[in-house]
Copies of this chain bind each other. A is one copy, B any other.
Amino acid sequence: MIKTVVTGLLCAAAALTAGILIGHYGIDKSSDSAPAWVKDVSKDVDENLLEELLSQVDNGRIQENLRELSKTPHMATTVGDEQTVQLMLNRWRDPETGLDRVWREEYMVYLSFPDPDKPNKVTVVNPSNAVLHTVREKEKAYTPDQEDPAVVQPYAAYSPAGQVQGKLVYANYGTVHDYQLLNDTINLKDTIAITKYGGTGRADKAINAARYGIRGVLVYTDPLDMNDGFMSDNNETYPHSWYMPPSGTERGAFSSIYGDPLTPYLAAKENTYRIPEDDITGIPPIPIQPIGYEDAYTLICELGGGPAPMAWQGAFNCTYNVGGPGFRPSSAFNNSDVKLDISNYGKVKNSANVMGVIRGSVEPDRYVIYGNHRDSWVHGAIDPGSGTSVMLELTRVLGKALKQGKWRPRRSIIFASWGAEEFGLIGSSEYTEQYLTKLSERTVAYINVDVAVQVVLTDLSASVGQVKAPGVDSMSVYDKWIRYANRTSPVYGLIPSLGFLTGAGSDYAPFVHYLGITSLDISYTFDRTKTRTRIYPAYHTAYDTFDYSSKFIDPGFYIHQAVGKTAGSVLVRLADSLVLPLNCSDYAETLEGYLHMALQVYEDYLLAQNISMEPIKRAVANFRSAASNLDRVIRSSDLANETPLKVRKINDQLMLLDRAFLNPVGSPSKFRHVIWAPLEVTMGTLPGLRDTSVVQAMSPGTPPTMAQLHLLVSVMSQAIDGAAQMLLDVI
């Protein structure tokens, strides 16, 4: 700019030009010259630099990251886990591609393991106690790494130990409704139930069963739900395809809470108060054990009793009977019991998060957090290796630019490699508990890279528009997204559809549900028109290996690369944008949709009891109007040329919006977000508006009382109105 001016004055005396230069540069101490920081504070995303950074995201490096990360099993707190801790520390501390500051942070958390010296056993025993069948203890190995002695036996973490036996019944998914239906015709007392994965939370299958006096529960993955019906390892399943082999068994945390079970709301440090183990809530009260569908087949196809309802039938080539209870008279198992001998034990162990930071240049006190868990059930090539291998490549690219002095984000970026996620999001939960206020007050957004494409409150279409997807066509990720998962918005027309973070499926849960922090969970998922599997079939089995991923999920690692570029773009935009790329009008649209559904389900019913839904209607209308107003302010302001405190004000309105949705009423809960809280895990509290609108309150089970519904309407109204207040003109 000075150049233009000087050029324009070239015809004048040299002394005049010199004067201009002095006036402009010489009077540094004058309050009228622009301080150096004036330019910095108004800087926006540098699109060219971003493009350059993303172009460095390398599929080959991601592949080698994954090979290294998944070479041995690394269940939380094992030797393998510690190796990955060291790997993360070394990478993030690399002098040429590392971060500003890196550290490990430890928590002493209560985990649950099978006893290697006394493996869990499931058998069929006849009345003389002779064992007629023994369920396979470990999955069949197809490659050498699956023979690693560190492969943990399939088990249900947090299932109690115990020996139980009884006649077998088939209970579908083990939902409240399933057991109710079964109970209409069978006396369930003292039986063992076999259930399928899906339909409800893992722990619920045992918690629901215990109400009927059932003594133990088995759970397996039906090939209909996961394998598109394929069952034979001769040619159909892994290593011939991505489908789960017959002995494949999903492990998992059988817990409906998240965070260390002994220290709710407190970070699990050495001297922290721990509740008695008997006071842990949300875990199975009776033994439960997962088995492969090979063994499930052997058990279910021998069952007596009448046929189970059509909807309960699975992929096996036999009729799924409900059980006499027990096996049919013509079976070799006639009169036999199923026996569970479970030796799981609980232990407080040291689990580490690895944390790394890039300090922000202009707003260091604003954090964008990017995380993924590090622990796996076995080798975890996909869960969590895919996310971690991408994260390591992103930190390499960003770290390099940082160390070369090419880039420093406007806001601080915190990278997190969480520990013990598989046991109930423990590393991330303890972190949010320990730094509750700091994180609540300063976190712009949390980005998680794990399984489903689920995004909350984002206006990041620009982030993915430029990223090319893998494959023969040259469509961008955005184009593919809009083709395979879309919806029609009244405002934008056809747009990519987003899922919502209503559950607690990964480490975003403590951020969105406990702290009310805007969160994203990003992944590139399969084409749902081509398979009905609910997740990739090797999930939580011994087959989730580098071999499986590189052969059947992403040969060449181009999808990993596309996810890396997409997540990297989102991350840098959140960190560098002058105005945060969060759109509150989209939130208004979502609220209006849910309200519309809730009104259809509830309004007449409530009005008949003199409970008005006007307050919640008014609140949503207030929210819409406040959101439109804020959008107008953003559009009509020349924010790059106004006081940085005005941009900060607007960014704080956007950043803190979700905090207003936290429920202040009722017993404490880690599901505090009144829009997204899942119905099934909010016993004693309130379900979020979304679930309220899609789940009939008058459904079987435990319908809420009128008082609870009225309270729900009041809490929702106040929260939505409080959120609207955050968007309104600040005073």
Contacts and interface: CB of A to CB of B under 8 A. Distances in A.
A21 interface: yes
Given A32-B34, A273-B714, A264 B665 contact: yes
Interface stretch (A165-173, A532-540, A559-567, A639-647): A639-647
B643 A645 contact: no
A595 to B, nearest CB: 15
A236 interface: no
Interface stretch (A38-46, A47-55, A321-329, A580-588): A38-46
Contact of A19 (B23, B41, B645, B652): B23
A643 B726 contact: no
A525 interface: no
Given A649-B365, A722-B434, A269 B615 contact: yes
B668 A710 contact: no
Given A34-B31, A643-B37, A665 B668 contact: yes
Contact of A362 (B271, B434, B645): B645
Contact of A437 (B365, B711, B725): B725
A722 B435 contact: yes
Interface in A258-282: 263-267, 269-273
A21 B269 CA distance: 64
A91 interface: no
Given A21-B23, A30-B2, A271-B614, A367 B731 contact: yes
A649 B359 CA distance: 14
A443 to B, nearest CB: 11
Given A15-B16, A20-B22, A710-B273, A35 B34 contact: yes
A654 interface: no
Interface stretch (A207-215, A237-245, A452-460, A656-664): A656-664
Contact of A2 (B2, B32, B39): B32
A667 interface: yes
A491 interface: no
A347 interface: no
A572 interface: no
Interface string A360-391: 10111101000000000000000000000000
A1 interface: yes
A17 interface: yes
A302 to B, nearest CB: 49
B30 A267 contact: no
A645 to B, nearest CB: 6
A143 to B, nearest CB: 43
Contacts of A730: 364-365, 412, 442
A710 B441 CA distance: 28
Given A271-B714, A714-B273, A731 B357 contact: yes
A79 interface: no
A33 B30 contact: no
A396 B442 CA distance: 38
A668 B266 CA distance: 16
A715 B266 contact: yes
Contacts of A360: 731
A437 B673 CA distance: 13
Contacts of A433: 664, 718
A39 B643 CA distance: 10
A414 interface: yes
Contacts of A668: 664-668
Interface in A212-234: none
Contacts of A13: 15
Nearest to A275: B707
A642 B436 contact: no
Nearest to A713: B273
Nearest to A711: B273
Interface string A1-23: 11001000000010111111111
Contact of A718 (B33, B267, B643): B267
A24 interface: yes
A438 interface: yes
A718 B32 contact: no
A667 B264 CA distance: 12
Contacts of A441: 441, 652, 656, 659, 726
A16 B645 CA distance: 37
Interface string A646-686: 00110011001001101011111000000000000000000
A612 interface: yes
Contacts of A270: 615
B664 A438 contact: no
Contact of A649 (B1, B19, B364, B707): B364
Contacts of A615: 269-272
A425 to B, nearest CB: 17
A53 B23 CA distance: 38
A29 interface: yes
Nearest to A614: B271
Given A649-B364, A668-B665, A714-B272, A726 B20 contact: no
Contacts of A273: 707, 710-711, 713-714
Contact of A34 (B33, B272, B710): B33
Contacts of A611: 271
List of 7 A-B pairs having minimum Cβ-Cβ separation, nearest first: A19-B19, A23-B23, A437-B660, A20-B23, A365-B730, A37-B643, A273-B714
Given A20-B20, A263-B714, A437-B662, 10 more contacts: A31-B34, A40-B643, A271-B714, A273-B707, A273-B713, A359-B731, A365-B652, A365-B653, A436-B722, A665-B668
22 contacts: A1-B27, A1-B32, A19-B22, A32-B34, A34-B34, A35-B38, A266-B714, A271-B714, A272-B718, A273-B714, A357-B731, A360-B731, A364-B649, A434-B721, A437-B660, A441-B652, A644-B644, A665-B668, A666-B668, A667-B667, A667-B668, A668-B668
